[in-house]
Structure 1
């Protein structure tokens, strides 16, 4: 049944946080397609390995590392009783991969599936109760992984960036704008193939117009996204693959219970509406008023509202995070 929730309604129905103490964070490693992934496992303060809990893979925006918005939401989920795993995708942060700072949808989808498989091996985790929480661009990767991987039992998205060819043209300046970006990417890819070297552009900048994200907040602000763990560079050869990636095609194939938290003031809401309309699974949506894309990443009020709604969704679909094996839930 479709339910559109207002912020007031979400506040009324969301369950309270279950843990006051900070979660324990354990550094972990696992493999994806033969390369090492480095992650952080957030464990609730009252975790008992003898009583496995629901667990979540938490992924963030494009070109980011685990210490940015994924860490914020993983901590929020652990505070609410869930085991939560963040990680650096291959080519980013501390993880392996020869090609660095390269946004590769297919590789990131594979990494999400590897993270789910790793979570299933943990003694703290009930392998039948694993969910996926995607934020911004990784929302498209998360739903694509979930559409083909039944090990992901429930899905929630926060500020999802979900595009197809039509939304791409609306977002990037029509056919001509898309063609210009593809040309930039193709030139970088041709140079890489001929020299074996990558040429990088700033990922974000307030002054350099070559930046992939020009004049944006969060990434250009110390104490927010501009952190030592984040390398502010991107390989522009990614453009063609990113622009061709279709996240919306996953909607009719998704069978898991689904929640989306977004705002009309955030990024490409038209893509989120289009995706939601094509879902055939159990679905809910929460639209917050006047919340920017970047405020969803780390501002207290939007993060709390989103986290409360996400936790309520996962408790309903994966079972109570404070109980052991809750039996058959989810799909």
Structure 2
């Protein structure tokens, strides 16, 4: 098969794409966290599936290799890379005495994969499990868990439902879809069927030519984008949109897998201690409450304040969430 190349097309499907994330309104930013806000991490890599994952490892200040610390693998939003919200939380957890690993999923960022920007939750859950295996091999780790921000909150449920290496779990502003929600978001069954059809066509094109068709992941008022909401975090070059490693692209051949994303169905299978951090201003708060109610093990719900994107990089909101998350992991993994 030829070396993969990427092209973007306007699908022109004739229906309005529903926004995955809620409009967050105007934000008065007191301090915005970036990768430069935190101590310089160590770049590491490890095997996962048929490839490898690249990650940034953050160690607690004054790290003592003879001690043992809780360790947490951190994943971020749809299409995100480790230098965005995952890195912010990993850095903040390290400040709170936790060994933290912000990962690039395969097909994203610096990790391996020929199908760039391809959304595959099974692969992503496998990468989180691989990250836990990497952490648990370290002599300075007492126990390992997962923190999922936004979409990775749902992905983490998939991993925790199956992987006995998960010692504890936390989600922040999690995206927890289910079939009924997907129907509403994407124009009913007609809208879903149309996206699946173009996704399958795009997969055929990739298999035959190596070309990866893409659409915008986030673009206000763009009908073909995955999210047509204001998405100011991604539109702002001083925030997530300015991270050089990030690409505002979604592989069209991933539509079928993305539409099948159903973390709500996984919640009852999660038996490990879990903390759900959310707010009324974050995306789909009722879904977060549903997940918390359905969880099959010990659970806590921390209802914070803040708009959805505040939880990505706004210092006050992130640090409040990180305080709660760190306390949870110290208690369950220490």
Q: How many residues align?
A: 296
What's 1:328 paired with? none
Aligned to 1:252: 268
Determine which of 94, 99, 103 is the counterpart of 1:78. Answer: 94
| Contact 2:38/2:88 (8 A) holds in 1 | no
Measured on the aligned residues, the alpha-carbon RMSD in Å equals 1.7
Distance (Å, rounded) in 2 between the aligned partners of 1:252 and 1:186: 31
In structure 2, the CA distance between the partners of 1:208 and 1:275, relative to structure 1 (3 Å rule), is closer
Large movers: runs of 4+ above 6 Å: none
Moved more, 97-106 or 182-191: 182-191
The answer to whether 1:315 aligns with 2:330 is yes
Q: State the distance in 1 between where 2:318 and 2:188 align.
A: 33
CA separation in 2, counterparts of 1:206 and 1:69?
20
TM-score, with structure 2 as normaliser: 0.84
The equivalent of 2:125 in structure 1 is 109
Unaligned runs of 5+ in 1: 1-20, 320-331
1:167/1:270 contact within 8 Å kept: no
1:197 aligns with 2:205: no
Alignment of 1:49-198 (within 5 A): 49-126=65-142, 129-198=143-212
Report if the CA contact (8 A) 1:23-1:44 is conserved: no
Match of 1:296 in 2: 311
1:186 deviates by: 2.6
Q: TM-score, normalised by structure 1?
A: 0.85
Question: SS of the counterpart of 1:199?
Answer: strand
Is 54-63 or 242-251 further displaced after alignment?
242-251
Q: Is the 8 A contact 1:24 1:43 kept in 2?
A: no
CA contact (8 A) 1:201 1:233 kept: yes
User: Quick one: which of 28, 40, 62 aligns to 2:44?
Assistant: 28
Give how far 1:187 is off: 2.9
- Structure 2 gaps of 5+ residues are 1-36
Check whether the contact 2:145–2:167 (CA below 8 A) recurs between aligned residues.
Answer: yes
Contact 1:53–1:125 (CA under 8 A) maintained in structure 2: yes
